[in-house]
Structure 1
Amino acid sequence: MSEHPVRSSTITCPECGHQETETMPLEACQWFYECPGCGALLRPRPGDCCVFCSFGTVPCPPVQQQGGPCC
């Protein structure tokens, strides 16, 4: 469990490969993300709680803090 979670994660769009670094919310999951490259609306993969856990380089802060699979 991390007391100070990483707030930055780079999302990679599975449709076009565009990468964008975003700041994650501390106490919530982000369920939707619109790719700035192609406009695709990303949703979490089954079993993931948010788009950062599915497509980001770092899982969301609630997962980082709880050390569990989902927030």
Structure 2
Amino acid sequence: MKQVILESTITCPECSHQKSEVMPTDSCLFFYECEGCKKLLKPNPGDCCVFCSFGSVQCPPVQQGKNCIG
């Protein structure tokens, strides 16, 4: 079984602010407020969460080949 990475760096598409976050393993994060510009990030169409859209690593369920947990 593939080891799951639990930390991802989110990069804001508006201001390029970056922050490393620990991803939850029991749910997906649908909204994230950028600390730099305060923009509320939402997943891009076709992505399940903000980590899959803006993170350096996809969320744990996707890493394991599963569907996102809502």
Task: Give the TM-score, by structure 1 length.
Answer: 0.89
Helix, strand or coil for the counterpart of 1:21?
strand
Helix, strand or coil for the counterpart of 1:20?
strand
Q: Summarize deviations over 1:24-63 as a string: whole Å, max 9, x none.
A: 0012110000000110000000000000000000000010
Aligned-partner residue type, residue 60 of structure 1: C
| Percent of residue pairs identical | 63
- For structure 2, the residue ranges without an aligned partner over 5 or more in a row are none
Q: Summarize deviations over 1:8-35 as a string: whole Å, max 9, x none.
A: 0000000100000000001211000000
**Structure 1 CA distance, aligned partners of 2:31 and 2:47?**
12
RMSD: 1.3
Aligned length, in residue pairs: 68
1:1-71 to structure 2, matched below 5 A, reads 2=2, 4-66=3-65, 70-71=67-68
- For structure 1, the residue ranges without an aligned partner over 5 or more in a row are none
Structure 1 moving runs of 4+ over 3 Å: none
